[in-house]
Structure 1
Amino acid sequence: MTVRGEAIFDFPDTALVSEPPKVRQGQARAPAKTLSKDIVVYLTIAALVGLSWQVSRMGWFKAGDDTGYWIGVAGGVMMLLLFSYPLRKHFRFARNWGRVKWWFLVHMVLGVGGPTLILLHSTFHVGSLNAAVAMYSMIVVALSGVVGRFLYARVNRGLHSERATLQDMQVRAGLDEAEARSRLAFAPKVEELLAKFEQNEVHAQTNWLTYLRQVFWLPIHQWLVYRQCASQLRQVLLTLAKQERWHKRDYIARKKNANKLIDQYLNAVARVAQFKAYERLFSLWHVAHIPFVYLLVISAVVHVVAVHAY
């Protein structure tokens, strides 16, 4: 296409007039759904701890009286029942005891409820060395469990599913190698930014520095790349709007749909890149979590024996 003998952007009349093909429903909702669940879990934990603190300040009971004692017993039993989840997962005789998904949910409830009752039992005070060791071991294990749930939620879908999402977005954006033409061909700098982002993140060297960078820095990097793409896209579309004499609503529609396509693509790339990082951190978490569990069991047994002996 030329104007006054000069070449301009090659922009098909129908490109980006309609919305880009939607990502499959399950793929689109997965990250938002995971984040929503995370927020609910964290707010619930914060609310329960805050409520326990308020109740402990009212002076209704002490750790050593009957009420405090039975609250401690209830919390201890709940924490003991936490071991039913690994029992269900790893022992053959327990494989018919229902779906692992529901056992994991119960494990989460017990993992929050048990420590909360123990905190309430203690009235947020420790009176002896063995009680202090048991208390702080429990806090470490509980926090470790929250971290483990965060990582588990991000590796649960599987790498194959995340790669399928990215490949699906590549085809829909026209950025797949098999596609002859990109929906963003009129903005080559945007294409270049997207290709570079994918190359740097999906095909990055596999080491711990890369994993940590992809967990903590990648979301910021993704946002920066999106802002760059949006800026480049705006300039291109403004030029095209003047040359093609678009109506304002056509310009707004094209800009909105192109930005949406870019955002979906960057999200798909980031999720594939982060999957391996979360997977490796999850394996490291398993190694670090188990010793703290053993320490908690030993210190809890010592504490219970000491309470009943003296």
Structure 2
Amino acid sequence: MKIFHNILLTLLTLGVGVIVVTTLIDGWTYYQLPQAERVLQEEAHKMFGAAGFAGHGLGILAGIFFLGLFLYVFRKHLKFMRRWGKLNIWLRYHIFMGISAPILATVHSAFKFQGVISIGYYSMMAVALSGFIGRYLYGHIPRRKSGEELSLRQVHLDRAETIRRLEFEFGLKGPDIQKLVAFSTPRSIERWGILNLFRILWDDLSRWFQARRLARYFQHKYGLPPSEVNYLTRAIAKQRMLVQRIAFLDIVHKVFHWWHVIHKPFAYTVLVILVLHVAVTVSFGSTWIFKND
């Protein structure tokens, strides 16, 4: 099933990309015109304007994708949906729609944001940008392959297994095991408070290079072949990552909570304005290809 979802998401991404790029290329001249001059380009306006064939179609697709974001929320919180596939798969579609919706909405608007709808648009952009932050924080909460959160006991077991594997496969001795443990142990977490978020970011950026340096040290000391260095680097980096995520788990949970507090109001603002926008659009008879005879 993983391969199926990989293929489907790839096709969906390519599809959205082709639609957006094609529309931008065909309508580039129109999009460069000032607002007052666009209506004078009758054919182009009927195609690329917000109420035009292409523009309106992109708006409908953006709305569908935005509403689709709530499917992930339902999957997380509704009991009858908890057996409907793995949570991490739902998250991947959630991210795809969260990125695609504002891109499609931007082209739908023909790059003109006015009135109340501009509030909805910028709220959608805020949802998308905060979504990237949320995904980053989500990745720092240890989870099973299914996407369910791991217990601290399971994380500690995984860490111990990694250390035993390194000791067995590479013959690491006691002092070097201690060196490995010291390498991955965070220092003075409590006194840093919320600033630990910057330490998490720095650790993510520097972890591989530091693990590589330690792997090189073990290579020279134990005469390991060069082919083993990459594997050892990944194993050391994973061990450090597990320990860091244990250490920073409470902080990440707190920030993740406040992230939800900020993220949700923007999402609900977009939802309300989207419903109003659709209602007003339909009331004026703009129904795209669904014309009433």
TM > 0.5: yes
- Equivalent in the alignment of 1:172: 165
Structure 2: how far apart are the matches of 1:262 and 1:70? 49
Contact residue 215 and residue 236 of structure 2 kept, 8 A: no
The aligned amino acid for 1:268 is Q
Partner-residue secondary structure (3-state), 1:268: helix
Distance 1:217 1:261, change over 3 A: closer
Give distance in 2, aligned partners of 1:125 and 1:117: 13
Superposed displacement of residue 308, structure 1: 5.5
Secondary structure of residue in 2 paired with 1:184:
coil
Distance 1:228 1:174 in 2: 14
Cα distance change, pair 161–191 in 1 and its aligned pair in 2 (3 A): closer
Match runs of 1:1-310 below 5 Å: 47=17, 51=21, 53-57=24-28, 59=30, 60-92=47-79, 94-95=80-81, 98-99=84-85, 101=87, 103-126=90-113, 128-155=114-141, 156-157=143-144, 158=150, 159-174=152-167, 183-185=171-173, 188=175, 190-191=176-177, 193-200=179-186, 204-205=189-190, 207-220=193-206, 223-224=209-210, 226-227=212-213, 230-231=216-217, 234=220, 236=221, 251=223, 253=225, 257=228, 260-261=231-232, 263-274=234-245, 276=249, 278-305=252-279, 307=281
CA displacement at 1:63 relative to structure 2: 0.8
Identity percentage over the alignment?
23
In the aligned structure 2, how far is the partner of 1:120 from the partner of 1:167? 51
Asked if the contact 1:79–1:114 (Cα under 8 Å) also holds between the matched residues in 2, the reply is yes
SS in 2 for 1:133: helix
Deviations 1:48-72 (A, max 9, x none): 7962644542644211234423432
1:138-187 residue CA offsets vs partner (Å, 9 max, x unmatched): 11112323333343344333255443331012222349xxxxxx93339x
Distance in structure 2 (CA, Å) of the matches to 1:209 and 1:77:
38
Q: Judging changes above 3 Å, is the alpha-carbon distance between structure 1 residues 262 and 121 closer, same or farther for their aligned structure 2 residues?
A: closer
Give the secondary structure class of the aligned counterpart of 1:84.
helix
Counterpart amino acid of residue 64 in structure 2:
V
Unaligned stretches of 5+ residues in structure 1: 1-35, 176-181, 238-250
SS at match of 1:217: helix
State the Cα distance separating 1:84 from its structure 2 match.
3.1
**Distance apart, 1:134 and its partner CA:** 1.6
Question: Aligned partners of 2:200, 2:194: CA distance in 1, in Å?
Answer: 10
Aligned counterpart, 1:8: none
Pick the structure with greater CA Rg.
1
Change beyond 3 A, Cα 1:211–1:44: farther
Does the aligned pair in 1 maintain the 2:159–2:243 contact within 8 Å?
yes
CA separation of 1:133 and 1:270: change in aligned 2, threshold 3 A: same
Larger relative CO (CA 8 A, sep 6+): 1 or 2? 1
CA drift of 1:132 comes to 1.7
| Kept after mapping to 2: 8 A contact 1:79/1:111 | yes
Measured in 2, the distance between the counterparts of 1:296 and 1:97 equals 29
Length-normalised TM-score, structure 1: 0.61
The two structures have a TM-score, normalised by structure 2, of 0.64
Give the Cα–Cα distance (whole angstroms) in 2 for the partners of residues 45 and 133 of structure 1: 28
Structure 1: 4+ residue segments shifted above 6 A: 43-46
Q: How many aligned positions are there?
A: 246
